[in-house]
Structure 1
Amino acid sequence: MKKRYILLVGIWCIIIFAFASSRFYNGENTLMYIQILFGLDYNQAEIVNMLVRKGAHVCIFGTLAVIVYFLLKRRFLFLPWGITTLFAIADEYNQSLVPGRTALASDVLLDSLAAFLFLLVARRFTADKKTKHLTF
């Protein structure tokens, strides 16, 4: 079972880096496609674009944190949170090296917060008598 989680973490991290390394998945392109697909003016599309992009950050890094949490057999909260936050920093650094992409500290903060919140939810729904006493 542990091998599956290691494989899943590896695949998830590769997917994140693949998207971050692509010049195609930048704010300008997604904004353009949102305008075309939904027929929105620039200001409306900009709001939708921001919500979609930040929502993706929340889901992607929250999920990564939960996968790492299960890899560590639900014994820790801060370790998967720290690992996910370090990966978010590496992801933003990677983005800074890609032409047409920008790295934002606010994205790292959002990723870290999302990871922590997802971990709290995972802990709440997976806590049993054996692990309930382990808070953080």
Structure 2
Amino acid sequence: MGLIFFFSSQPYEQQDLRPTMNLYMNLDFIKPVLSLIEFTYYGETINIESRGVDGMLEFLIRKAAHLTVFFFLMITTFLAFHHNTGWGLKGKLIVSYMITVLYACLDEYHQSLTPNRTPYAGDVVLDSIGGLVGVLLILLFYVRKSTEKR
């Protein structure tokens, strides 16, 4: 949570990956793959024509980071409850997922207070999906573990 808060506190200019990517690598090799991708996000068409190769790659990295960070938040919250409570699996999963989604909402609110950052409900959806993948992975682990005991 502290790491998420830290990154949400930074203005976009501090997080812009494009200068670093362009400094260390020629991104032309990925252009054929990225040119196949086009979608609308927050009312904006996302493609290499509108963002350039570096902008498109940065966008995808940033959105993948949303999924990944909240996936790990879900897993670590679950593990904290698993090791510190006597709750059943269902209770630990529900409370952990609720905390993950609530923190995603608070993170977007926090971004609204940060210069040059824009809160967006779609990012909460991405964060929630990351948490849901964590739930599914935990369930898969428990199902597999219970079938191995038989």
TM-score normalised to structure 2 length:
0.68
Measure the CA separation in 1 of the matches of 2:72 and 2:97: 11
Which residue number in structure 2 is paired with residue 34 of structure 1? 21
Which residue number in structure 1 is paired with residue 46 of structure 2? none
Which residue number in structure 2 is paired with residue 44 of structure 1? 53
Report if the CA contact (8 A) 1:85-1:108 is conserved.
Answer: yes
Measure the CA separation in 2 of the matches of 1:70 and 1:19: 23
Measure the CA separation in 2 of the matches of 1:16 and 1:39: 30
Aligned length: 115
Measure the CA separation in 1 of the matches of 2:142 and 2:79: 10
Measure the CA separation in 2 of the matches of 1:118 and 1:90: 19
Which residue number in structure 2 is paired with residue 112 of structure 1? 128
Segments of structure 2 that go 5 or more residues without pairing to the other structure are 29-50, 83-87
Q: Which amino acid aligns with 1:75?
A: L
TM-score normalised to structure 1 length:
0.74
User: Is 1:58 paired with 2:67?
Assistant: yes
Residue from 59, 66, 75 that aligns with 2:89: 75
Residue from 80, 92, 95 that aligns with 2:111: 95
Measure the CA separation in 1 of the matches of 2:118 and 2:14: 11
Q: Which runs of 4+ in 1 moved over 3 A?
A: 39-42, 126-129
Identity rate, percent = 30
Segments of structure 1 that go 5 or more residues without pairing to the other structure are 1-12, 130-136
Measure the CA separation in 2 of the matches of 1:40 and 1:62: 28
TM-superposition CA deviations, 1:89-132 (whole Å, max 9, x none): 00010011011111111110000011011121122124444xxx
**Which one has the largest radius of gyration?**
2
Q: What's the C-alpha RMSD, in Å, of the aligned pairs? A: 1.9
